[in-house]
Amino acid sequence: MSEILLYEGKSKVVYEGPDSESCIMRYKDTATAFNGEKKEDLSGKGKLNSSISNLIFGYLMKNGVETHLIKIIDDTSALVKKAEIIMVEVIIRNVAAGSFSKKYGIAEGTALKNTIVEFSLKSDQLGDPMINESQITAIGIASADELAQMTKLALGINDLLCALFVKTGIKLIDFKLEFGRYGGKIILCDEISPDSCRFWDADTNKKLDKDVFRRDLGDVLEGYRDVLGRLQSVLL
Ligand code: UDP
């Protein structure tokens, strides 16, 4: 089968699907951080993220969340709905970490009095700047109604993910979601993996996510394998 490339990103490639309503998403082994400045191939990362994300999407779909996932093709590829990606990243924070800790001077690991919902503009060129709701509607990236839907969906997904991860002995610190328009609805797209979430071991606070790569903390994929194993033990 000849593959027609639609888009190549930092950690995934998207090919045309068998019909105009779908496409094929393939996970790559490339790890990047700091907007692509740090880059390395980690053999097996694509397969791990694909397995983790497919398990999580399957769980969310079972719990009524509409996603782009149609069918798993192989270890690194899935058939997905060809949604029109909304060009904002939705970030949910349960515990202070990362850019939030740095920007506001709040120690990593500090509990938050409420869940934070943040948006950033999906633009590698601009370094994904944070953007607020009136800015998003002003420049026409999404309507107020779409933003309200994405916020509600993201908070619902957070509740489901927290309920799942507590069973695995993992704290869900924060994560990033992407949504798309498909058939008049807003659906969950992209991936949910240790590349896009912060996962800390509940007992030791050991990092099991991409911060191990960002901060050179050791064997990156050891944490990813641990996350997959724990998810398999509660979901399969
Ligand atoms: N995140 C992501 N892609 C991005 C930016 C952030 O997947 O382009 C995830 C990141 O892995 C973390 C959460 O979103 O789980 C919050 O990231 P943060 O804003 O703290 O940025 P970072 O410290 O990763 O630069």
DSSP 19: S
Q: In the Cβ-directed half-sphere of 55, how many Cα atoms lie within 13 Å?
A: 22
Decide: 6 and 13 in contact? Cβ < 8 Å. Answer: no
Q: From CA 50, how far away is CA 54, in angstroms rounded?
A: 6
Return the pLDDT at 174: 99
The pair of three-digit structure tokens given for residue 213, joined into one six-digit string: 């790569």
DSSP 225: H
> What are the phi and psi torsion angles at 91 (to 5°)?
-110, 130
| % of the chain surpassing 70 pLDDT | 99
- Helix, coil or strand: residue 133: helix
Ligand 1, residues 176, 189, 193, 199: which to mutate, most atoms within 8 A of Cβ?
Answer: 176
| % of the chain surpassing 90 pLDDT | 99
Return the pLDDT at 56: 99
Query: Which single residue is written with the structure tokens 């050791």?
Result: 218
Mean pLDDT, rounded, of the chain: 98
Looking from the CA of residue 196, the nearest atom of ligand 1 is 7
DSSP 75: S
Query: Which single residue is written with the structure tokens 């700047």?
Result: 129
Q: Across 56-128, where does the E strand assignment appear? A: 69-72, 77-81, 84-85, 88-95, 111-121
Return the pLDDT at 1: 55
- 59-94: pLDDT as tens digits: 999 999 999 999 999 999 999 999 999 999 999 999
Query: Which single residue is written with the structure tokens 């700091």?
Result: 34
Q: From CA 208, how far away is CA 146, in angstroms rounded?
A: 32
Residues of the chain with pLDDT under 50: none
Q: Is this model's pTM higher than 0.85 or not? A: yes
Q: In the Cβ-directed half-sphere of 189, how many Cα atoms lie within 13 Å?
A: 26
1 CA distance to ligand 1 centroid (A)?
Answer: 36
182 CA distance to ligand 1 centroid (A)?
Answer: 25
The closest residue, in CA terms, to atom 7 on ligand 1 is 196
